[in-house]
Chain A
Amino acid sequence: MTNQVTTFADDQEQPERILLVDDNPTNLQVLFQTLEGRGYNLLVAKDGETAISIAIKALPELILLDIMMPGIDGYEVCRRLKNDPTTKEIPIIFLSALGETKDKVRGLDLGAVDYISKPFQAEEVIARVNTHITIDRLRREVQAQKDALERELEVVAKVQYDLLPKRLPEIKGMKLSAYYKTSRYAGGDYYDIIELPDERWGFMVADAEGHSTPAAVRMAMTCALLRGYPGAASDPDEVLKDLNRTLCEVVGMSFITAIFAIYDGRDNSLRIVKAGHMDPLLYRPSKGETVEIPCEGTYAMGIEQYDEVPVTEIRLQSGDRLLFYTDGFSERFNPEGEMYGLERLSQQLSKDHGGNPKEILDTIVDDAERFAKGLPADDDQALLLCVVE
């Protein structure tokens, strides 16, 4: 019978392992005795090949590496370990009688962290080993915390995606497309479409201020309040007032900008309310250009109760393209520090796309990506496009 034992890393601190590499048995022994009893686990290798295979298997926390060895020398061992993703982070200290500056520089250029000249003083070896072990321990701690934070942000981003509509509804006389991308910080953007009685639909695009979990919680609150909205939600200003009333109680020192519009398929009317958000954009084929729909609006949700929320009403026409967006999209920066901006966004919306909303959004998103030249977005981005047939 065989027992399979699997060990999991735990918080219990294990002694660091140091690999000592020297082809000269006497040197190796002196080095071993120097570091013995200092709280480290010591591994030894007498040549380059063995050093590499031990390093790959054991992944020690530090390697003390002789340069002049038969077979592959210390430089080559270092080069190979630094080229292997599994071993490249292991700090290497060269140990050699080659004491010239150019030898030291060559070793450091290969990625070694330090260089000790032979014959060495025991105190110097101990001091340098302790220093590099400490630096490497701190580096690993920082890396572990960074990894944990990134995992948390991934979880938060997943929660946000889960709240979005799984698929866009079929609306008579109108085609929809949406784009959503969380940033590396996971912000609080949100879009939604709710079905209302009598061929009416509610469109929401919102942006909870802040990043990470707090923003995602505020976004989720907004989503829950909108989807659970009691009654027929016939007036957009009443919806916004009610959402704001609850959000003011729970949001604290933050806010949520939003644009909410009710579309009535019976007369193609669109009634828009806005809370600290950007105006929607409208491309009208007969005009041949994209303009902002000027909505007076009110301040963002979660700050203070609203007395009145101004409603802006427009009548949509065949071929109209209506775009709701968040500032994460329009305020995308490129490496030169320029902002994508409303003008570029408007130009892209005005292009001749053949009227397919998915293709229109793809063109817009591609253009913004080209503009950003690979610089990641600082903020979430949401776009909701409605094309009137």
Chain B
Amino acid sequence: MEVVEKKQDGICILTLSGRLDANSSEEFREKILQLIEDGTKKVILDCENLDYISSAGLRVVLEATKEIKRNEGKIMLCALQDYIKEVFEVAKFDAFLPIGGSVEEAIKTF
């Protein structure tokens, strides 16, 4: 998996590509938790090129969501492929974190 980080309008945009699974989730976890620890309060996960997410990946997203909420911040998920969207819907994770359309829309609504 590859993660590209950029800042726009005070929002940290992480572009994920590849597979967020048991192999890659630990490194991603460290990265995103570090960002939150450093005071990042607005995070967009651009999932357009994310091909697969396993339960280990879901756990990291959940942990990051809980962590950022404690700092009164927010994570938004954007541009999910149908399969990934389905995984989040089955898991009912849409109850905790906003799942949006495009990155541009998300930036506007943040």
We find that the number of chain A residues with CB closer than 8 angstroms to chain B is 24
Q: Kindly report which residue of chain B lies nearest to residue A215, judged by CB atoms.
A: B55
Contacts of B56 in A (CB 8 A): 209-211
State the 8 A-B residue pairs at the shortest beta-carbon distance, nearest first: A299-B92, A276-B91, A209-B55, A253-B63, A209-B59, A299-B95, A276-B92, A254-B59
Chain B, interface size category, equals 10 to 19
Instruction: Contact check, A299 vs B93: say whether CB atoms are below 8 A apart.
Output: yes
Which B residues are CB-close (under 8 A) to A304?
96
Say if the beta carbon of A28 comes within 8 Å of chain B. Answer: no
- A153-169 near B? 1/0 per residue, CB < 8 Å: 00000000000000000
Cβ of B59 and Cβ of A378 under 8 Å apart?
A: no
Hey, what's the 0/1 contact readout for B55-75 against A, CB within 8 Å counting as 1?
A: 110110011001000000000
Max chain A Cβ within 10 angstroms of own Cβ: one of B59, B63, B90, B95? B90
Main secondary structure of the interface of A (DSSP, over half): loop
Please report B residues at the A interface, Cβ cutoff 8 Å.
Answer: 21-22, 54-56, 58-59, 62-63, 66, 90-93, 95-96
A192-236 vs B, CB cutoff 8 Å, 1 = contact: the mask equals: 000000000000000101110000000000000000000000000
Q: A253-B59, A255-B58 are in contact. List 17 more A-B contacts (CB 8 A).
A: A185-B22, A209-B56, A209-B58, A210-B55, A253-B62, A253-B63, A257-B91, A276-B92, A276-B93, A278-B90, A298-B95, A299-B91, A299-B92, A299-B96, A303-B96, A378-B21, A379-B54
Q: Report Cα–Cα, A255/B55, bound state, in Å.
A: 9
A125 at the interface (CB under 8 A from B): no
Residues of B within 8 A of A104 (CB): none
Report A67 CB to chain B, min CB distance, Å. Answer: 44
Tell me whether A321 is interfacial, beta carbon within 8 Å: no
A253 contacts B66, C-beta separation under 8 Å: yes
With a cutoff of 8 Å between Cβ atoms, the chain A residues found around residue B21 in the complex are 378
Per the bound structure, the CA–CA distance linking A331 and B59 in Å amounts to 17
Write the nearest CB–CB distance from A288 to chain B, whole angstroms.
26
Interface check A281, CB cutoff 8 A:
no
A303–B66 Cα gap in the complex (Å)?
10
Q: List 25 A-B contacts (CB under 8 A).
A: A185-B22, A209-B56, A209-B59, A210-B55, A210-B56, A211-B56, A253-B62, A253-B63, A253-B66, A255-B55, A255-B58, A257-B55, A257-B91, A277-B90, A279-B90, A298-B92, A299-B96, A300-B91, A303-B62, A303-B96, A378-B21, A378-B22, A378-B54, A379-B54, A379-B55
